[in-house]
Amino acid sequence: MHFNKANNCYEIQALPVHDIVQQYGAPLFVYDAQKIMDQYAKMTKSLRGVKQVKINYACKALSNITILKLLKDLGAGLDAVSYQEIRLGLQAGFQPESIIFTPNSVSIQELEAAIALGVNINIDNLETLEYMGMQHPTIPLCIRINPHIMAGGNANISVGHIDSKFGISIHQVPHIERLVESLGIKIEGVHMHTGSDILDVDVFAHAADLLFNVARRFKQLKYIDFGSGFKVKYQQQDIETDMDAFGAMMTEKFNAFCRETGQDLVLAFEPGKFLVSEAGYFIASTNVIKQTTSAIFAGIDSGFNHMIRPMFYGAYHHIINISNPEGKSKLYTVVGYICETDTFGWNRKINEIKEGDLLCFKNAGAYCFSMASNYNSRYRPAEVLVHQSTAHLIREREDFEDLTRRQVQPDLNF
């Protein structure tokens, strides 16, 4: 999104955002397809020195089927964490062999259902590894290692630390080897994901060294998967992961490992936020301006039922008033209509807001719609994709029938 000074409006691919909202209503999620393509190209370019690279999109970030189709056409595989995400990927056209299933704490029934679909299986606990060796000894597996690294600086988004539920502890690798040898399990991949918003390339380098040490123990590998965690910008002054520096470091280390071991491996990653976060915008209209003794509240036609990240993670989303792009700035606390504390931002400097003005939240492509709910019996909003300067509806806005569709009303004598 950029501000067109000549037309005094914000635009996405030359389309005025006001026109998009006028056509599809608010609240509304809008995604810029070109930004997704640019981010994918940026990552592949940074790794151009590696012979075989596979980018598996972590679809939990944004699982709309049209977005999945876009990434499939770019050449991505799919990282799925549930049976339902696998089914969405298949419906979007991904082949089973291009999908990796990385579940956590799922039932054996869900695991078996995924196996029946023919996808790649990533195992994150010893008990499941033993089960697979007993019940499916011919299926090659990937194993997820917990490196015991606090990455990202926040326990809510760091998933590779010692107290994390994810992965098999790096100190339990001898147990993995015992099961592999005893049951004849074929390990075709090793995997690690340390967290999100990792800025320091040295963190990736340290994690890579740990995973390479694990990989040396398995002689039938086809790929090494380093997960993701790249930091994107949330504020203008933010620093993002230096992808050129990251790519140079990873290329050198990976190619050296392949030469050392004599293996021709695939280098895999599974970015989600990196690909779609900055491509997304959430737009809501202002219902009320309310001044109290401590703040001026801008109450919008939305809440954490649509975008929970600020309340759940303390995440920052830059907010702009697209209805008053060159107005005088004032301090506002932007809140929602949910009957809970749902504050999007405290004392934000925003161009003067009036009732009916449209506020736009940036970085709304990842973990926003995918975490939306019907709390307070509110409807989930529509989604629009802007592709080649045309806005396309990719999800209809919910209505009252959607709230009651699955409810059953038995004939009871209350």
Residues annotated as part of the active site: 339
CA angle 71–72–76, rounded 5-degree value: 75
126 Cβ contact partners less than 8 Å away, ≥ 6 residues apart: 168, 172, 175, 176, 179
What does the alpha-carbon distance between residue 306 and residue 236 come to, in Å, rounded to a whole number?
24
SS3 letters for 328-367? CEEEEEEECCCCCCCEEEEEEEEECCCCCCEEEECCCCCC
In DSSP notation, 305-333 reads TT--HHHHT-----EEETTSTTS-EEEEE
What does the alpha-carbon distance between residue 286 and residue 365 come to, in Å, rounded to a whole number?
21
What does the alpha-carbon distance between residue 49 and residue 248 come to, in Å, rounded to a whole number?
8
Q: Taking the alpha carbons of 235, 238, 240, 244 in that order, is the dihedral positive or negative?
A: positive
Residue 358, CA distances (Å) to 19, 132, 352 in order: 12, 53, 11
258 Cβ contact partners less than 8 Å away, ≥ 6 residues apart: 264, 265
132 Cβ contact partners less than 8 Å away, ≥ 6 residues apart: 121, 123, 139, 141, 185
Asked whether 207 and 241 are in contact (CB, 8 A), the reply is: no
